[in-house]
Amino acid sequence: MALAALVACRHSPSAPTGPEGIPGFTLIGDPASSGGATWTYRWRESGIQYDLQGILLKASGAGSFPAVIISHGNGGNVGGYSLDVARVMVGWGLVCIATNYTHAGGVPIGSPGTASEAGATPNNVRRARRLVEILRGLGYVDMSRVALHGHSLGAFVSEATAAAHPDLFRAASHTAGGIAPDIVSGFAPTDSEIAGIRAPYQMHHGDRDFVVPLVADQLFATALRLRGVTHELVTYPGAGHDDVRLNPAVLDRIRAWYQSKGVL
């Protein structure tokens, strides 16, 4: 996967004009309501057909707000994990946006990509990258304060997106993620594929995770250290794969990380 070689997407509007000014974007509901809003995005650009569904939550007011792109794990979708995390993070003053990825369950996966392209694949990176342009078009997001957060396969997407587009994100975080050695091909990005990361990155991992072993994040932390990237790996004794994803202590540490890095 040549993730670092993905070209940044360009968006049509010359100035942010609100949701009605984003071609192909339809907002359903009020993002500032307690349940947030859902949205669809259907647009073709540079030969790529986008057919995405997602959620959007924001605090009341005109902005300008910081934002976070939330990425779900295997079999999840925006109505589950992503919404649960967004309901917490919107309380921090963040605009929270999420879309379904190719590894979503219980929903149409849309495009680009197929169900065989789970995790840190180019088409999932394209989906996450497109969310940046939706945020830009909304008109109330401070685009200098955008973060990434994901769990499991969504963590892999966050890593790959941060690497492919290092100038777009102020900070990043994940739970139960990490990397694989360059000789291994799979759902996780490899050491060489995360070489572009520059955003300060915080990782959370249980030492009883038998789905994505702790060693994956230990390898990631080592790779970031060798490249001089600010990072923190927090381990949780006795915690399994899903024990960390909505853990209040994890979320408190992520909030503090975002505050210290200028997102909040």
Residue listed under structure tokens 């799979």: 186
The confidence score (pLDDT) of residue 134 equals 96
Give dist(CA 190, CA 178) in Å, integer: 9
> In the prediction, which pLDDT does 63 show?
76
Identify the sign of the CA torsion 42, 113, 187, 191.
negative
Span 199-252, pLDDT tens digits: 999 999 999 999 999 999 999 999 999 999 999 999 999 999 999 999 999 999
Sheet of 231-236: strand order equals: 25-28, 37-45, 48-57, 95-99, 65-71, 141-151, 171-175, 201-206, 231-236
Which positions of the chain have pLDDT values less than 50?
1-17
Torsions phi, psi of 155, nearest 5? -65, -40
DSSP-derived letter for residue 65 is: E
Running DSSP on this structure, what letter comes out for residue 20?
Answer: G
pLDDT at 15: 38
Any residues with CB less than 8 A from the CB of 221 and at least 6 apart, and which? 203, 231, 233
User: From the CA atom positions of the chain, what is the Rg in Å?
Assistant: 17
Q: What is the pLDDT of residue 182?
A: 67
What is the reported pLDDT for 20?
64
Sign of CA dihedral 198, 41, 105, 7: negative
Sign of CA dihedral 53, 58, 62, 64: negative
Q: What is the CATH number of domain 20-260?
A: 3.40.50.1820
pTM across the whole model: 0.91
pLDDT value of position 1: 36
Q: What is the pLDDT of residue 18?
A: 56
Rounded to whole angstroms, the Cα distance separating 222 from 232 reads 10
